[in-house]
């Protein structure tokens, strides 16, 4: 009996565990975090959802109804807004599956077929966001460095093809990584549908490389050059305006106007990238911590909740970035809000 026991211990130590044993008191056991935690966690999710869904809907509607906004960069923004809108529906549902004290909900959403769909779709949408930012960065790079050839390189057809490729390849990647994966312990012992309790460190590393490392490896060098050239262009525009003043001809004024618009779009994309990094970095760190934690780990539930809130907040913040940086989006969204106010006032009468 002793050799057999020793062999079993060696096997369990050398094999990557997909789930942490409930007898060890690991994070996936049912915990009572208190009413303040649930108010904070799900209260923030409700607030963000109330901003996310109507806000991204307005962004999509603003581009569709305004022909002058049908530009390649704005098409990327619409696709990104659709992604954020889907995140606003699926990610809260995924987090509702964490309600361990409501077994009717956690067991229904914790079934492997349902959980597999939720996890793979959430992560696929995250990858789609990453490579939308990569595509937008490339368009900004072309617009700043090759303004005269921009319309030759970046067309509506090539933009739609790129968006289609991003959506298809992102979902195929997640299907290969997560849908074809069947954790035996999870199926034999249903637990809460939480990513870090089901998948191994290999999945996290692959996800980190695909969603963060590769996109940043492409975007950061491009942005380093974009920022340097954009600053030089901004100084050149300011100098030309001071020297020529009102004497500048129409062609020079038009060219400077176009360059100003391109600079505004570049700043907007830079802000999008910054908030994206802020939203995803804490979540990746949390994944690594919870999966690599061998011994009993003490972790504040508020830290885990805050990481998820930051991630989800990223999809709602983008609306304010569009409206804040681009006047055409701001004007269209303001018109939609005014119409809604008039409609509700009419209904009250």
Mean pLDDT of 30-53: 81
Mean pLDDT of the chain: 75
pTM of this prediction?
0.76
pLDDT at 25 over 50: no
Does residue 13 register a pLDDT over 70? no
Q: Please report the DSSP string for 16-69 in residue order.
A: PPSS--GGGT-TTS-----HHHHHHHHHHHHHHHHHHHHHHHHHHHHHHH-GGG
Query: 213-217: which pairs have CB atoms within 8 A and are 24 or more residues apart?
Result: 215/130, 215/131, 215/133, 215/134, 216/277
pLDDT digits (tens, 9 = 90+) for 241-288: 566 555 455 445 444 555 565 566 667 777 777 888 888 888 878 777
Output the pLDDT for position 276.
Answer: 81
Are 59 and 322 spatial neighbours (Cβ–Cβ below 8 Å)? yes
Spatial separation of the C-alpha atoms in residues 79 and 85, rounded to whole Å = 10
Q: Is the pLDDT of residue 321 over 60?
A: yes
Read off the DSSP letter of residue 247. G
**C-alpha pair distances (Å), 314 with each of 121, 122, 274, 334:** 17, 13, 10, 21
Of residues 282 and 186, more confidently modeled: 282
Tokens of 219: 């975007």
Task: Name the more confident of 280 and 306.
Answer: 306
Which tops the pLDDT comparison, 168 or 9?
Answer: 168
Closest by CA to 257, choosing from 287, 279, 228, 237, is 237
Q: What is the CA radius of gyration of the chain?
A: 24
Residue with tokens 């590769």: 214
328 pLDDT higher than 80: no
Give the three-state DSSP class for 127. helix
pLDDT mean over 157-179: 90
pLDDT confidence of residue 16: 36
Q: What is the mean pLDDT of residues 50-60?
A: 88
How far is 171 from 309, CA to CA, in rounded Å?
Answer: 24
pLDDT of residue 125: 92
Rounded Cα–Cα distance for residues 282 and 90 (Å):
20
Residue 18 confidence (pLDDT) above 50: no
Q: Which phi and psi angles does 236 have, rounded to 5°? A: -65, -40
Tell whether the model's pLDDT for residue 103 goes beyond 80: no
Main-chain dihedrals φ then ψ at residue 262, nearest 5 degrees: -65, -40
Domains and CATH numbers, the chain: 34-339 (1.20.1070.10)
């Amino acid at each position: 009996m002793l050799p057999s026991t020793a062999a079993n211990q060696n096997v369990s130590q050398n094999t990557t565990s997909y789930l942490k044993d409930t007898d060890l008191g690991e994070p996936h056991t049912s915990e009572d975090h208190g009413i303040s935690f649930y108010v904070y966690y799900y209260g923030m999710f409700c607030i963000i959802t109330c901003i996310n869904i109507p806000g991204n809907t307005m962004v999509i509607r603003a581009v569709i109804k305004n022909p002058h906004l049908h530009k390649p960069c704005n098409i990327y923004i619409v696709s990104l807004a659709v992604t954020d809108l889907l995140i606003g529906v699926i990610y809260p549902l995924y987090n509702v599956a964490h309600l361990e004290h409501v077994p009717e909900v956690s067991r229904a959403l914790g079934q492997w077929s349902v959980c597999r769909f939720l996890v793979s779709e959430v992560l696929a949408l995250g990858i789609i966001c990453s490579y939308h930012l990569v595509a937008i960065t490339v368009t900004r790079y072309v617009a700043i460095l090759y303004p005269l050839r921009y319309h030759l390189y970046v067309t509506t057809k090539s933009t739609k093809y790129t968006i289609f490729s991003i959506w298809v390849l992102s979902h195929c990647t997640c299907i290969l990584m997560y849908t074809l994966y069947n954790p035996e312990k999870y199926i034999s012992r249903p637990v809460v549908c939480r990513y870090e309790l089901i998948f191994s460190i290999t999945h996290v590393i692959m996800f980190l490389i695909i969603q963060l490392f590769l996109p940043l490896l492409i975007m950061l060098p491009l942005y380093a050059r974009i920022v340097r050239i954009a600053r030089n262009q901004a100084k050149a525009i300011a100098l030309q305006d001071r020297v020529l003043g009102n004497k500048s001809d129409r062609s020079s004024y038009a060219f400077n106007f176009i360059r100003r618009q391109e600079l505004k779009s570049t700043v907007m994309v830079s802000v999008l990238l910054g908030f994206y990094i802020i939203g995803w970095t804490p979540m990746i760190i949390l994944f690594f911590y919870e999966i690599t934690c061998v011994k009993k780990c003490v972790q504040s539930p508020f830290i885990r909740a805050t990481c998820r809130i930051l991630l989800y907040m990223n999809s709602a913040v983008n609306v304010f970035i569009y409206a804040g940086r681009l006047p055409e989006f701001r004007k269209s969204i303001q018109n939609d809000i005014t119409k809604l106010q008039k409609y509700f006032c009419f209904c009250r009468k």
